[in-house]
Structure 1
Amino acid sequence: MDFELVIPVAPAHINLFDKHIGQIIKYVNPVRTTVIANGAFIGEVKNKYPHIHFMNEDELDDTINMRFLRDYLQNRIGVSNRAGSYMQQFIKMVYAFKSQTPLYLTWDIDTIPHRPLSFFDEEKILFSYTDEYHVPYFDTMKRLFNMHKSFSKSFIAEHLMIDRDIMKEIVVKLQNVDLAKHWLVNGMDAVDDEFIGHSGFSEFETYGTYVFHNYKDRYKPRYFWHNRYDSKKISIRLYKKFISDIFDTSSFEVWAQSEIKLRRFKRFYKDTLERKKNFKLIEW
């Protein structure tokens, strides 16, 4: 099945773009790649990547932009440092109305694949799951959609293959909560004050839970072996040389060059292989 690759790039991750974009496109193999970022970043890199379509994040919607989200959070809780996180979630959802293909894959720019990846099994879309569980996400979903957590694992990953029509349904339901407000505001209003400044809404858990309740037959769960690189534990030299043997994807916040003793790396490598040996895939 054809799909579009959509990568939102936040200002904090712009330095990773040049390092990661080539490997992502190579191993994901989309029919089209769209990068969504602020105008300053697009101006810096657009000419270097003529095969990529760039879109200014401020042109996605007439209402929602970084200024709006900062003002919303500032007025509600007195701080606005999470505006960028909500902007990233909004981009992944609203792109359903922009995508030129029925499916689009959102991918985090801080994450690289180590080998060619497939996102389909015959006619079913593969849905990656992880072990995370954050109760406030589901409290928010209960208020918005009367949906509860039904799958034992989490849908939060570094990527998500989205059916644009299903995401449009979710957006319409969010809009119908209060027609006088923007649908994203309805979603944010449903988050407790205690969590709105941290993590109270997840586009991954919302989409995944909605699919589980309504379109379970279109998707099939799968597990990606993923690791977040920590320069305090493993040197980048050893990581790059050996890690692709055991992980499908890795995330990098920084590319540090610390040197950790080889025996610590060997222990990490051995422990991961043991986990993979004993792993059992969870079905729907």
Structure 2
Amino acid sequence: MDHYTRIQLAIHYLEQHLQEEFDIRATAAVAGFSAFHFQRLFQAITGFTVLEYVRRRRLSEAARHLRESEHGILDVALAWGYQSQEAFTRAFAGHWGMTPARFRKMQEEPCSLKSQSVIDFNDYRSRLGGDMYMRAPRLLTLNPIRIIGYEYMTNLNNDQHYSEIPGFYQEFGASQKFMDIPERSRPDLAYGVACRFTDDGGFSFIVGEESGAADGQNLKPGFTWIELPGGLYAEFTVEGSGQDIRKMIYGSWLPQSGYERREGPDFEVTDVWKSTPQQLDMKIYIPLK
């Protein structure tokens, strides 16, 4: 069963539980993914988060409920997961551009584009197959690598990580944090490691270098160590300036590759001596099985 079909099973589960409290772990489990990986795949393929999709679906169904029933606005609010009529009215007006009371009085919906239908990942399968071309990765087996670096926190939601991660590198270099890494063994290579994922989309991004230190003891505040597991990886080469290809990796290549992403961190490696502001020399590694 491919990634698109598995995610569609999760969509079916969401529809069955749309009026219940949103449970990302249970939803992801239906597709056979971890909560974080499910969110990452969903966002890369669709362009918006699972939580945003659930919010849109609930507001769309609440609007239909208002149209097709005589239930009071508070009853509709409670039925679709809002704790008060005031909270529902704010969310509804933010999405539809008018209050529930005014919406109910209108003869037609103000804008059908705001209505979120049940998503069909079969459409994405056919569309992404042709629209998202990328160079095939190199598959290789790596030995374990010990990294010591500075730990930053970011989040998938609202593409926060895409805007923040370049700043992490800049701050790491400008503050010369690399000088606090003991036993630097490859000072020409800067690592960025995405790890310690949480169910709400949060994760750590460690900027650091390879280290020969025997353990992670006596590190300065904010520093941490991680061992990148050995095994099979897909190696993607980044071309151009500031190009982030992870959306294409997770949105197009991985679902169609026949491989599964195994547990463990993604990481990227930049050759700091070969890179310039105009041209990165970076490779991205995704663990596979």
The alignment's TM-score, normalised by the length of structure 2, stands at 0.23
**Which of structures 1 and 2 has the bigger CA Rg?**
2
* Structure richer in strand, relative to its length: 2
